[in-house]
Amino acid sequence: MASYIDCVVDTNPMAQEISTVSNHIKGTTTAVVAMQTAVVLAEQKAADHVCDNVNKGFYTLIRSQISQKIAKLQSEVDSHLMHLNQQRKQLLSVKSRMEHDYNMISGRYLKLFNGLNQNLKQRVLELDRPMIDFAVKEVEKVSNRTKYLAATVPVSQLESLAASQKIIASNVKFRGLKLINSMSNFLADMSEQKKLTDRILVEKVNAVENSILFIPVLISECNFDKYGNEDIDVAVNNVQLSQQAQAVVKNAVNHHIENLQWQPVKEIDKEVRSEFSKLLSSANTSQRVKEMANKLFMANSFQTMKPP
């Protein structure tokens, strides 16, 4: 027969330990929640940073591609414009040459046909000289007998004296009118001949010669924002070059500017140093500012492009 032993067990230590474990679990839970919150914030910041960099890179890439396309299209437009201007000059030269040839050929044939007309007229007149002389000379003399005899002294009655004087005055006026018309026709012919001669004897068109010119170009590179984006500026001489020539040179430099490489310079060029000293001495600033500018200039490092 089984027997039972009654014993009293104290559970307070185990309860205290369980209570301690419960407190540690609560602290762990709080730490896990805080860590999860921190992880979520870190992931959000990382995602925002990645998105900002991706957007910045995308916009920079699009801007660079658009700038390259603009430069390329501008270069093509300027090239076509120069080609069209060259063709226009050639067409004007051909037009001038054709006008010169036309005037020369027309003058030559005009002289030839005038000579042929004169020779034919002379031959026709020689076919029947007596009849021509009678029709041209004698009949005209008979018809104009009163006009040719108007200068003779009128011997008539007093009644017809006034009429005779009027005839003489009319004859003098008619001959004066013929003289004036002859002079006018002569002057008009001389003016027309001068205009025709000026059109024929044009000046020789200066021949266009191709030559090579060395043009200095200033290329400056700088950072225009805090992200390190670079801005490149090209400066060309604007004294001896036209606006079109300057645009062509700038487009050509922008087209090949990616292939250019910079190299550091050991010492400042003497001409650059001399020009800077002249500008510094002529500046209307204090001596302290000039010394600081000279100090910064001497401490600065330069880079030049490597020769191709």
pLDDT tens digits for range 231-265: 778 888 777 777 888 888 888 888 777 777 777 77
Q: Is residue 218 included in any domain, yes or no?
A: yes
Single out the residue in 74, 92, 110 at which a domain terminates.
92
The answer to whether residue 217 sits within a structural domain is yes
Cα gap 20→88, rounded to integer Å: 101
Domains in the chain: how many in total? Answer: 2
* Single-letter amino acid code for the residue at 200: I
Give the number of C-alpha atoms closer than 13 A to the C-alpha of residue 239, restricted to the C-beta side. Answer: 3
Residue 293 Cα distances to 23, 270, 274, 296, angstroms? 70, 17, 14, 5
Q: Is residue 158 one of the residues assigned to a domain?
A: no
Determine which of 5-14, 32-41, 62-71, 282-291 has the lowest per-residue pLDDT on average: 5-14
- pLDDT for the residue numbered 174: 87
235 falls within a domain: yes
- The verdict on residue 147 lying in a domain is no
Torsion of the alpha carbons at 52, 55, 59 and 61, rounded to the nearest 10: 100
Q: Which of 128-132, 186-190, 234-238, 280-284 has the lowest mean pLDDT?
A: 128-132
Q: Residue 188 falls within a domain, yes or no?
A: no
Provide the residue type at 136 as one letter: V
Instruction: Give this prediction's pTM.
Output: 0.28
179 occurs within a structural domain: no
Q: Is residue 104 part of a domain?
A: no
Query: Which of 92, 107, 137 is the endpoint of a domain?
Result: 92
Domain residue limits at 84: 11-92
How much of the chain, in percent, has pLDDT values that exceed 90?
1
Q: Which residues contact 217 (CB under 8 A, 6 or more apart)?
A: 234, 235, 236, 249, 253
Answer with the one of 70, 92, 114 that is the final residue of a domain: 92
